[in-house]
Structure 1
Amino acid sequence: MGHERISHLPSTKQWRNIVAQLTEFSPQNNNVALIATNTTKNVAQQIERMNQDKGVLASFSYLLILLHASKQRDPHAFLQQNGITLSSSFSLLELARSIKQFNLANSENTEYATISSQALIDTVSTWTKKEQQQTTLFFGGDADPFEPWRRAADAGSFSEISRIYFSNFLGRYLKYFLEREASASFNNLFDRSDFNKRLDSHLDDISRNAFETTKVTQQFAAGWYNNNAVKQFPKATEIQGFVGYALKKLKRNLVYNLDLED
C-alpha cells in the first residue's frame, strides 16, 4: 500500500496509547514488541464489527462473483450484471485495477475499502501464481483467464482461498496502521528505518500466526460454499453471515493467542 493516504484511523483511547508508545520509541528503548501486541489486541477488539463495513463485504463479494462467473456459459455477462467489466483476456494487472474500482464504488469507509481491496489483490495474486506453477497456465494469448477461478470454485479450494484472504486482510491492517503512525511520529530517518525493520520482524510473526489461526475457518468455509454457492450465487445476507463468522473466529483466536479475556 506504500504511502497511500487513508481517510481516517480509529481514534479510541487504546489507539492513542499506541501512538504515544510510537513517539517514545528509540533504538535504546525497543518497545516494538509491546506496540505490535497492543495493536493486535485492539484489532481483536474491533475486528468482529468489520463485517458491517461495505468495503470489506464488497471485497469478499468480488471474489465470490469471480468464482461464480467462471462457471457460467458467458462469464463476462455475469460479471457485468454485477458491476464488473473485464476484457476477454484480462491480465492479473487488469484484475487488480478492477478490484480497486469495485471496492471504491461499493464502500463508505475509505480505510477499510483500501485495505480489503489490497488484501484481495494479494490473494488473487497468490492464487494465480500457485495455479501457474501447477499447470503452467499464463494469462493472455489463447489462455482462458477464468481457468484459475474455475478450479477455485469448489468447496475445498474456496476454503483455502478464503483463508488466504482473511490472513492477508489482518496483516495489511496491522502493518498499515503502524507504518503510518511511525512515519508521522519520527523526525529522525534512521530511527524510522530501524523501527520499520524491527516492526517487520514482529508483524511477520503475527501474520504467520494469523494464517495458522484462520485454519479453523476452513471446515466451515467448505460447508458454507457447498450449501450456499455451488448451485447459485449467495445472497448478500449469506455473504455477510459468512464474513461475520470468519472474523469472529479470527478474533477469538487472536484473543486466545495473546492471553486475553474475550
Structure 2
Amino acid sequence: MGHIRLGNLPKTQKWRDLVRLIAGSGVSGGVLSATSYVEAIAAQTLGASRAGLDNAKHDSGVVYAFYMLTQVTLASRGSNWEDALARHGISLASDSTVFDLTSEIQAAIDRHVSRSSSGATDLSEMAQQSVGESLMSLAEKRTANLFAGSSDEVRNAIHTLSTKKGFGELGQRFFGRFVARFLNFYLSRATAAALGGPRLPDLADVAEFNEALRIHCDESARIVRDFCGEWYSKTAYREGIDLENASRFLAVAVRKLSSELEQQGGEV
C-alpha cells in the first residue's frame, strides 16, 4: 500500500486568519513573542484541520502505536519480560538498551502498519515517532545511559511507567507529542510563509515558536494524564488490554485533548 498523506493545507478563512496571526498582521501592540499567542494558534489550527485529527481515532497505525505502549509497560511487570516482548515481535538481548527497545518497538509498528489495509499514513508515522520520543524522554530520567546498560536496567526503567501514576505520565507525554506533531504538520507551512514578517523575522523565532507549541501541547495533555492512568490500571486488572479497548480509549482521549486546546484558545 502507498503512503497516505493528510493532504494540502485547509483553504478556509479560518486558516488565513491563522497565518496572519502567526505573521503578526493585524495584532495591536507591536511585535509579540512567539509564545504569546500559541494557545490561540493551536486552537485555530485544530479548527482548520479538525478532519485530520478525527481520522486519528480510526487510524490503525495510531491505535497500534498506543497499544504497544500498554503492552511494553505491562511486559515489564512479569518475571521474564523479554519473552513477553517477543510475543509482540520485540527482540531484546541481555545487553539491550533503551535505544534498542525503542528501535524494536518502531520496527514492530512498521510491520503492523505494512500488513494493514490502509498502510502507512502521516498520522501513523506521527504516532510512531511519538511513542519513541515519549519513552526515550521519560526513560532518560530513570536510566544512567540511554545507549548503554542491560535489558534488566531497561525493564526497571519501564516498570516505573507500568503503575497507574507512571502510565498516566507516559500517556500525557505520548498524546502531547502526537498532537504537537500533528499541529506542526500544518503550522510548519504557515510559519514558513510568515518567515520574515514582524512576528517571525528569522529561523530562530520559528524554532522558538515550535518549542513553545511543543511545551503547550505537553501541558495541555495533562487533561488526559489521570484518565490514561485510571483506564490503564482498571482495564489491565479487569479484562486485559487489547486493540479493541485501546482503540475505544484513544478515541475518547483525542476528543478530550482536542476540546481542551480549543477551550484554551477561546480564553486568549
TM-score, structure 2 as length reference = 0.75
- Alignment partner of 1:125 out of 124, 136, 141: 136
1:8 aligns with 2:14: no
Tell me, in whole angstroms, the C-alpha distance in 1 between the residues paired with 2:151 and 2:84.
Answer: 21
Displacement of 1:198: 2.7
1:109 aligns with 2:120: yes
Structure 2 residue identity aligned to 1:121: G
Structure 1 residue identity aligned to 2:254: L
Q: CA 1:110/1:46 → structure 2, altered by over 3 Å: closer, same or farther?
A: closer
Displacement of 1:90: 1.6
Structure number having the greater helix percentage? 1
Displacement of 1:77: 1.7
Match in the other structure for 1:228: 235
1:209 aligns with 2:216: yes
Match in the other structure for 2:160: 151
Q: CA 1:19/1:258 → structure 2, altered by over 3 Å: closer, same or farther?
A: closer
Conserved 8 A contact 2:70-2:232: no
> Paired residues, what number?
247
Conserved 8 A contact 2:10-2:48: no
Q: CA 1:226/1:27 → structure 2, altered by over 3 Å: closer, same or farther?
A: closer
Tell me, in whole angstroms, the C-alpha distance in 2 between the residues paired with 1:156 and 1:55.
Answer: 26
Structure 1 residue identity aligned to 2:244: T
Conserved 8 A contact 1:67-1:153: yes
Tell me, in whole angstroms, the C-alpha distance in 2 between the residues paired with 1:166 and 1:67.
Answer: 16
Structure 2 residue identity aligned to 1:241: R
- Alignment partner of 1:170 out of 172, 176, 179: 179
Displacement of 1:93: 2.4
- Alignment partner of 1:99 out of 98, 105, 110: 105
Cα RMSD after superposing both structures: 3.6
Conserved 8 A contact 2:165-2:229: yes
Question: Residues 206-253 of structure 1: CA distance to partner in whole angstroms, max 9, x if unpaired?
Answer: 333322222222222222122112476402121112211111110111
Displacement of 1:20: 11
Identity of aligned residues (%): 15
TM-score, structure 1 as length reference = 0.76
Structure 1 residue identity aligned to 2:75: A
Displacement of 1:137: 7.2
1:254 aligns with 2:256: no
- Alignment partner of 1:70 out of 65, 76, 89: 76
Q: CA 1:230/1:86 → structure 2, altered by over 3 Å: closer, same or farther?
A: farther
Tell me, in whole angstroms, the C-alpha distance in 2 between the residues paired with 1:26 and 1:50.
Answer: 29
Displacement of 1:88: 2.6
Structure 2 regions of 5+ residues with no counterpart? 114-118
Look up the SS of the partner of 1:106 in the other structure.
helix
1:199 aligns with 2:196: no
1:85 aligns with 2:94: no
Structure 1 regions of 5+ residues with no counterpart? 1-5
Displacement of 1:54: 1.1
Structure 2 residue identity aligned to 1:255: E
Deviates more, 1:55-64 or 1:141-150: 141-150
Q: CA 1:44/1:88 → structure 2, altered by over 3 Å: closer, same or farther?
A: farther
Tell me, in whole angstroms, the C-alpha distance in 2 between the residues paired with 1:94 and 1:202.
Answer: 32
Look up the SS of the partner of 1:131 in the other structure.
coil
Match in the other structure for 1:39: 45
Match in the other structure for 2:250: 243
